[in-house]
Chains A and B, each alone.
Chain A
Amino acid sequence: MNKLHFKVGLFAAASLLLAGMFVVYLLHARGFFEKTFHLQLAAASADGVAPGVPVVFSGIEIGRVTTLGLNENGGIIIHAEFLGRNAKWLKENSTFTLDKPIVGGAKIRVDSPDLKAPALPDNATMLLLTSDISKEIPALVDRVKAILDNVEHLTRKDGELNATLANAKTVTGRMTGEYGMLEGLLGSPEKARALTDSLDKTRALITKLDGLAAKADQWLFAEKGVAAQTRESLAQIRLLLNDAQSSLKKADVMMTNAVEISANVKDGTQDLAQLRAEIDDAVRKASDLVNQINRKWPFAREPEVKLP
């Protein structure tokens, strides 16, 4: 056995086998063993479509445009070919759209909303829609321009937005000051300080009042507090007042008499001395009463009893 020949034979056999396998694989890949599915697309314009333009379904190429030409009525007929295994994605309710992106080549997009719909027959004719982005660009530019104008108007130097922002800046600047939000609301640190001072004072006052209330409670309503004594005192005062009233009534009678007496001085000299004593008595009683009240009622500082 020739070793050299064996090696070369092995090399040749392996190479031929690999080459054969690759050729079969390539033929399979290119759909040589399958039926070719044909489709015709009617379009209004063949702009951007050329033989070799891919037909894509969900972003995956399933076929290619083979030829394109005009029919009798001047319409455009585009012929596309698909491998048999890819024809199942073409349904009767599929839509075909010509996509012309700004960057990259044109392609025909297939959308099959219902994959359970009946399959498209071979050599069927479908309508090709066009979605041309480049035609929408001028309209888009117009709208963007209008928006930019608005933005420019809003952001001009003496615009409302600027003023608002300036105000917001002032307020937030104050808020970061010593008195925080209060300063922001009231406008200056002095006012804010005044408010906090008042609050402090009020707080102190309330504390004092609290204590006072507790004391008053004790003083007024305890077992032998002021309230109980006052009740007794009021009873005495009523007696005193009755006394005073009777005295004053007497004085009244005296005064009536006095009027008469003044008319007849002669008869009334004795009576005048008596009247004098009576009035004195009434005034003493009234003053007594006031003193009593003063003792019981410590708030009235300047009691006045006016004589009638």
Chain B
Amino acid sequence: MNFLAASIESLGAKVVGWFTVGYAMAAFLARAGLLLLEPATWNRATFDVVVKQVYFTAVQILHVFLGYALVISWLIITIILSTARDFGLTEFASEMTIRVLVLELLPFLTALFVALRSGSAINTEVALMQVNSELDALAHCKVPPMQFEFLPRLVGGVVSVVTLAGLAGLLALLMGYLAIYGVNTAGFEPYTRTIAKIFDFKIMAGLLVKCALFGLAVTLIPVTAGLETPKKLFMVPVSVLRGMMRVFFAIVAIEVVSLALKYI
């Protein structure tokens, strides 16, 4: 009986914990959103921080990221093409390639890439600031941390993931064309038809929203995880661990929901 009660209690605690985390995130997002709408937010200082964030999240890793996207695209396109040829389904190969790479795999991989590189860094930074009471000091000096620390990170994350996923997608489209038709313009018409068939308004909007949500997930979750760190230095790694786990689950959840909406 005791055991049952204890397990129910622990389950309740977990659910409450999830709700607390979810609520904190939603509240934080709401505050950030409201702040975004205020004209006063858009001053030179905030913009500078956004630019810096975009630089560290996207520009600094661009060559590595594009190289990685190139290799993985080439590999997957080749696999899909040869498999399609083996089964006599070559006509579907280009569509399959674009759908798998541009719509699903590359945005997902971009989100993972940015989460591992920038998300973990943001989480650690915010947690350290929280532990060292720097945020309180900033607020005391009339530098609201939301405007100068958190919001630029969210915006930078969203812009970076959307841009990187878009660039990787364009690269994959180019690679797909080269792999299927070779270096000539003969396949332009059919390839254009395939692209026109796939990218209707709904798909484009869905892709954009998905990438934006990925960008938000890989910055918002680390920030909130850092903010809830107790003021003890040894809690920083725990905070990062929790934040990264949540980021991973969020990314997978977004991908699953997007797939379900698209194909079910």
Contact = CB atoms under 8 A, between A and B. Distances in A.
Nearest to B50: A8
A57 to B, nearest CB: 12
A26 interface: yes
Nearest to A9: B51
B244 to A, nearest CB: 26
Contacts of A29: 192-193, 195-196, 199
Interface stretch (A14-22, A71-79, A206-214): A14-22
B62 interface: yes
Given A15-B167, A18-B170, A19-B166, A8 B51 contact: yes
B189 to A, nearest CB: 9
B256 to A, nearest CB: 25
Given A7-B59, A8-B59, A11-B62, A30 B54 contact: no
A61 B52 CA distance: 47
Contacts of A31: 196
A12 B53 CA distance: 13
Contacts of B58: 11
B22 to A, nearest CB: 33
B195 A26 contact: yes
A15 B58 CA distance: 11
Main secondary structure of the interface of A (DSSP, over half): helix
A5 interface: yes
Interface in A2-59: 4-5, 7-8, 11-12, 15, 18-19, 22, 25-26, 28-31
Contacts of A15: 163, 166-167
B167 A4 contact: no
B52 A22 contact: no
B204 interface: yes
Contacts of A25: 192, 195
A4 B52 contact: yes
B204 A26 contact: yes
B195 A8 contact: no
A26 B196 CA distance: 6
B209 to A, nearest CB: 15
9 contacts: A4-B52, A5-B51, A8-B51, A12-B163, A15-B167, A18-B170, A25-B195, A29-B199, A61-B193
Interface of B: 51-52, 54-55, 58-59, 62, 163, 166-167, 170, 190, 192-193, 195-197, 199-200, 204
Query: Which 4 A-B pairs rank lowest in CB-CB distance, beginning with the nearest?
Result: A29-B196, A29-B192, A30-B196, A11-B59
Given A29-B192, A29-B199, 18 more contacts: A4-B51, A4-B52, A7-B55, A8-B55, A11-B58, A11-B62, A12-B54, A15-B163, A18-B166, A18-B167, A18-B170, A26-B196, A26-B204, A29-B193, A29-B195, A29-B196, A30-B200, A60-B190
